[in-house]
Amino acid sequence: MGVIRLAKIAVIAALAAYALIVAYDNVFDYNSNYQFVRHVMSMDTIFPDSALRSRAIDSETMWRAAYALIIATEASTGFLLALGAVVLLSRLRASAKLFNHAKLLAVAGLTLGFCLWFFGFVVIGGEYFAMWQSKLWNAEEAAFRIAGTMLAALVFVSLPAVKSSPLSRARLV
């Protein structure tokens, strides 16, 4: 029971570090990924004859607002996950019921992260803005990998902690 709980906390903490570093990088190296958002939303590098080009947004205000929302969501994901890891660590030796109830922040962070990287980047960026058509500004594979990691962590963390019995401990030996 303790090792599985520690594994869940480690997964949450690692994803918290990832989301916080991504948010930090986007603030302190603002222009790099701002250009990504600008090109994806303006659809200036998709297939020249694409009928989807009518969805393009050519407003710097909208590009900056979208980028600010992305950064805020990354930071929120990281903070929720970090707090979730701390709360779970504080409940490491608690009953299964208390440990399960302490997962709320971690589950919220994992869900928010999944929504950002899957809905935000794969659905909105990839499909709505046809990011998949761009050879230069396409992050669908990376976003899908991150979303998949968030979803796998969400499934793993959501598995209920159970009260161990002497019989179940004996089977582990």
Tens of pLDDT along 114-141?
999 999 999 999 999 999 999 999 999 9
pLDDT in tens, 23-61: 999 999 999 999 999 999 999 999 999 999 999 999 999
Asked whether 56 and 39 are in contact (CB, 8 A), the reply is no
Taking 90 as the threshold, does the pLDDT of residue 166 lie above it? no
Residue 1 is predicted with a pLDDT of: 57
Compute CA 163 distance to the chain's CA centroid, rounded to the nearest angstrom.
30
Where b means 16+ CB within 10 Å and e means fewer, 99-135 reads: bbebbebbbbbbebbbebbbebbbeebbeebbbebbe
Predicted TM-score of the model (pTM)? 0.90
Distances 122 to 31, 86, 118, 139 between C-alpha atoms, Å? 21, 30, 5, 8
How high is the mean pLDDT of the chain?
93
| Other CB atoms within 10 Å distance of the CB of residue 93 | 10
Residue 171 is predicted with a pLDDT of: 43
The alpha-carbon radius of gyration of the chain (Å, integer) is: 20
Asked whether 67 and 35 are in contact (CB, 8 A), the reply is no
